[in-house]
Amino acid sequence: MKEIAITGVGVHSPIGLDEASVLDSLLALRSGIRRIDIAATGKAYAVGLIEQDFSERFPKMERPLLDRIAQLAVLAAQQASENAGIVNYSTFGERAGVFFGTARGGVTTEWAASQEFMESPAKTARPYYLMGSMPNSGAAQISIRQQIVGPAVTHTSACASSGLAIADACRHILCGDLDIALAGGSESTVQPGVAPIFLRLWDALRALAEVADDPATSCRPFSHDRTGLALAEGAAFFVLESVEHARRRGATILGYVCGTGVASDAYHMGAPHPRGQVAAMRSALRSAGIGIGDIDYVNAHATATREGDGVEVAAMKEVFGDDSARIPVSSTKALHGHMLGAASAMEALVCLLAARHSFVPATAHLERISDDCLGLNHVRQVVRERPIRYAMTLSAGFGGTNSALVLRAHDPLARA
């Protein structure tokens, strides 16, 4: 496909609230995973939590409509727009759009409504509960605040949601419907109030990491002693434009989305299958018009679940063949946790930072590789300095939806 320019990035995550702080955390292998104790379940969990209240940044009258997920989305999208030199999108008219990914939507608001009903079932419901809990509330709030009058589309395909949002935005630009788009995702299921129910549900799947003596090391992708994932909250957004449009308005191009791939396992709601991941990666390579030999880094979906990591390794080995032992692979979820619907966008940002600053992120806490994860060029515990031409990120969601993105930097920067 024709490359799509990236002219702005924004992020709020457990390892940083902007591009610079995320970069610092990746280079220093600084973890945002910590322990929380849930009285309702009598258990401790390892989560990626942003320990900051952002509600004060919004007018008091508007806060009831702004679930935590929408707050994170609005702030990351605003940061991306400012990074791209855009005050608002009104000057672009219908040629601008917003594409949003989330797995769960406004669960904090939904939980508050449920609690209020249980306590006072006869009480008239607050009308903003419905609007604040809708999955598209993040996209709508961004559209309203940024004056984006083109499409405002929400993708809810589990952990691949924001990857699909980015791919959809690229397609709208490529087919000529749009000149510019905000694309990314947001999630928040580990805040007090909603955390007990969501952690309990994930625990029932036996998917959550056991809390280590050092909680920051609880999530260990690809490791022989991995025990599961660390749920996390956060948001990441990109400003995407046609190259021609970016040049016309004098924008600084940070990098490019070069290829996208979307595919389904068509297998099981909860268990992954390699074929969907294989198809997504191959589709991304085809649309980028590059070969396997051009890929210099893969940011894996690897959440540190017992089954998932091994299936993904099998998929990568099938796609990369003899290059499997050459292409550096890592999972940065060991640091920032699993941000569900925002994971694809967060990890695409990691790929862009790696390509721009000429380094390969490492999988933290990976000492001994599990037998079912052997055969790849794992980057373990130490960041590697090297130029990256093309980086790929892969995401796999419940129900078998997979997304793959290929990115490259416009002008790689020398590492400080």
Residue 278 belongs to what H/E stretch? helix 274-288
Cβ atoms of 19 and 238 closer than 8 Å: no
How far is it, in rounded angstroms, from Cα 121 to Cα 304? 42
Cβ atoms of 338 and 232 closer than 8 Å: yes
What's the whole-number mean pLDDT along residues 116-140?
A: 83
Chain segment 313-322, per-residue pLDDT in tens: 999 999 999 9
Chain segment 194-250, per-residue pLDDT in tens: 998 899 999 999 999 999 999 999 999 999 999 999 999 999 999 999 999 999 999
Of 108-122, 131-145, 176-190, 323-337, the range with the lowest mean pLDDT is 108-122
The pLDDT of residue 415: 56
Percent of residues, the chain, with pLDDT higher than 90 = 87
Residue 70 belongs to what H/E stretch? helix 68-83
Cβ atoms of 342 and 164 closer than 8 Å: no
The pLDDT of residue 117: 75
Amino acid letter at 212? A
Q: What is the DSSP string of 171-203?
A: HHHHTTS-SEEEEEEEE---STTTHHHHHHHHH
Q: Mean pLDDT score of the chain, rounded to an integer? A: 95
How far is it, in rounded angstroms, from Cα 322 to Cα 293? 10
Chain segment 238-289, per-residue pLDDT in tens: 999 999 999 999 999 999 999 999 999 999 999 999 999 999 999 999 999 9
Q: At 116, is the pLDDT very low, low, confident or very high (cuts 50, 70, 90)?
A: confident
The pLDDT of residue 414: 60
What's the whole-number mean pLDDT along residues 185-195?
A: 92
For residue 203, with 0-12 CB atoms within 10 Å meaning exposed, 13-18 middle and 19 or more buried, which class applies?
A: middle
| Domain 4-409 superfamily per CATH | Thiolase/Chalcone synthase (3.40.47.10)
What's the whole-number mean pLDDT along residues 129-143?
A: 91
Amino acid letter at 172? H
Q: Where are the domains of the chain?
A: 4-409
How far is it, in rounded angstroms, from Cα 38 to Cα 268? 31
Q: At 126, is the pLDDT very low, low, confident or very high (cuts 50, 70, 90)?
A: confident
How many residues are given for the chain? Answer: 416
Q: Is the pLDDT of residue 416 over 60?
A: no
Q: What is the DSSP string of 372-408?
A: GGTTSEE-BSSPEE---SEEEEEEE-TTSEEEEEEEE
What's the whole-number mean pLDDT along residues 175-181?
A: 98
Q: At 10, is the pLDDT very low, low, confident or very high (cuts 50, 70, 90)?
A: very high
How far is it, in rounded angstroms, from Cα 164 to Cα 397? 11
How far is it, in rounded angstroms, from Cα 32 to Cα 353? 18
Token pair in block for residue 163:
């990857």
415 or 346, which is more confident: 346
List, by residue number, the catalytic residues: 159, 301, 338
What's the whole-number mean pLDDT along residues 156-176?
A: 97
Q: Is the pLDDT of residue 167 over 60?
A: yes
CB burial of 256-290 (b: ≥16 within 10 Å; e: otherwise) equals bbbbbbbbbbeeeeeebbbbbbbbbbbbbbebbeb
Of 67-76, 125-134, 159-168, the range with the lowest mean pLDDT is 125-134
Chain segment 353-379, per-residue pLDDT in tens: 999 999 999 999 999 999 999 999 999
What's the whole-number mean pLDDT along residues 59-67?
A: 91
For residue 356, with 0-12 CB atoms within 10 Å meaning exposed, 13-18 middle and 19 or more buried, which class applies?
A: buried
How far is it, in rounded angstroms, from Cα 53 to Cα 55? 6
Percent of residues, the chain, with pLDDT higher than 70 = 99
The pLDDT of residue 40: 84
Q: Is the pLDDT of residue 132 over 90?
A: no
